[in-house]
Amino acid sequence: MASDVYSEYETRLPGLLLQRVKEEVPEKTGVRKIRAILDAVCEEYELCKSESGEAVGLIAAQSISEPGTQMTLNTKHFSGVEEMNVTMGLPRIIELVDARKKIKTPSMTIYLASPYNKGKREEVRLLAQMIKETTVEEISEQINVNLADQIVEIILDKERIKDLRLKPASIAKEVKRQISEKNVVSDGSKVIIKVENSSSKSKEVSPIFKLKENLKELVVAGIKGINQVLPIVENGEFVIKTAGSNLKKVLALEFVDKTTTITNDIFEIYAVLGIEAARYSLFEEIFSVIEQQGLNVNPRHLLLVADVMTSYGIIRGITRYGIIKEKSSVLSRASFETPIAHFTKAALAGELDSLSSITENVIVSQVIPIGTGLVDLYMNHKNKKVKDK
């Protein structure tokens, strides 16, 4: 009986709101009372909606940029607290809104799956070390070059290898995979590379040294792109913060909680999880900056920005290469940036500007189609009644 009342309102209220009312209202409430409650909710909901003709985009822009003028570059730091250097404040907002492909400080927050997240600090530290990209230089005590036999010897740091749960054989395998040498073998705590002198008869010095230098940079363990790891305690569980990001590979790890682990690189989220995830994380990233600055912006403005940036199914920045490019009006595009380029292109293509938006109508001194300018009054003065008279 009661559920029928709710279904009556399905067309008038969004599902989520209806669901919440359902949960809040005590079960034994009578139908009339429920109806009264729902009517009140409906009324309130209608009041919250924007009127048609309201310049929501412009209001969103103003609502973000006015507090933006108060943003400070120097954020508070606390001594003795473990922190990662992450771009914050205005530079970060600009980065997000411009949809930069390469962000200044990519960073991940890796949540651990259930036994690991409540484990010992030392264990978590080891897990973190496994994620971090490890080069040959880091795990070796020294790298020797034997010119006479054309051999490069990597003497491994036993402790480090043990920490990282690596074995000399696996290192040798990884090295072999990445360099084009066939003779890579492990011997106790050494990795020996025998360079095959295929072409050059004269025993040149440089190739083998080059190999040695290349070896140093070689990533043998961990995830590429993760330069730094920092295990911290957050809400009573261990979390690994990283500098550098590789969402795809991190999500593939078995000890990682795949539902909560996140990166601040929107494009990576888009590539791995899709546009809807990118849209929401874009919103969350902007919102976190504004919140961190102690400013108060209604999240709906930010949601609108995120919607606009992702509505084409890909991430488009608010730049002349992004969403501005998609505007149909020549005048509107030209008034944003690089007018001459836009006019010449439009002239070559013979574009037509239908003067349908705000900027164009301001330029030609006409009534702008928004607010009170949105409505037009037409009168049919060949009305029959008039004729009859």
Q: Which of residues 159-198 bind other proteins (CB under 8 A)?
A: none
What's the rounded Cα separation, in Å, for the pair 220 and 223? Answer: 9
Rounded least distance, CB 358 to other proteins, Å: 6
Binding mask 319-358 for other proteins (x = CB under 8 A): ---------------------x--xx-xx----x-----x
Beta carbon nearer to other proteins, 14 or 53 = 53
Binding mask 353-372 for other proteins (x = CB under 8 A): -----x---xxxxxxxxxxx
What's the rounded Cα separation, in Å, for the pair 56 and 65? Answer: 14
CB count, 10 Å around CB of 42?
14
Q: Which of residues 4-63 bind other proteins (CB under 8 A)?
A: 53-55, 58-59, 61-62
Rounded least distance, CB 206 to other proteins, Å: 31
Residue keyed to tokens 């992702």: 310
CB count, 10 Å around CB of 170?
14
Rounded least distance, CB 153 to other proteins, Å: 38
Rounded least distance, CB 53 to other proteins, Å: 6
Q: Quick one: CA dihedral 205, 208, 212, 214, positive or negative?
A: positive
3-state DSSP helix/strand/coil % of the chain, to nearest 5: 45, 15, 40
The yes or no reply on residue 251 touching other proteins (CB under 8 A) is no
Q: Is 180 exposed, middle or buried (0-12, 13-18, 19+ CB in 10 A)?
A: exposed
Binding mask 260-279 for other proteins (x = CB under 8 A): --------------------
Strands 140-146 and 219-221 turn out to be unpaired
Choose which of 196, 341, 373, 383 interacts with other proteins (CB under 8 A).
373
Q: Are 165 and 130 in contact (CB under 8 A)?
A: yes
Nearest to 130 by CA among 30, 221, 217: 221
Choose which of 47, 378, 382, 388 interacts with other proteins (CB under 8 A).
378
Beta carbon nearer to other proteins, 60 or 127 = 60
Rounded least distance, CB 371 to other proteins, Å: 2
Rounded least distance, CB 282 to other proteins, Å: 23
Beta carbon nearer to other proteins, 1 or 48 = 48
The one-character DSSP state at 238 is E
Q: What are phi and psi of 111, to 5 degrees?
A: -95, 145
**Terminal CA-CA length for the chain:** 59
Rounded least distance, CB 370 to other proteins, Å: 6
Choose which of 27, 43, 122, 376 interacts with other proteins (CB under 8 A).
376
Using CB under 8 A, count the residues that bind other proteins: 29
Left (φ > 0), alpha (ψ -120 to 50) or beta: where does 34 sit?
A: alpha
Nearest to 92 by CA among 295, 304, 293, 232: 293
Residues lying near other proteins in the complex (CB under 8 A) are found at: 53-55, 58-59, 61-62, 340, 343-344, 346-347, 352, 358, 362-374, 376, 378
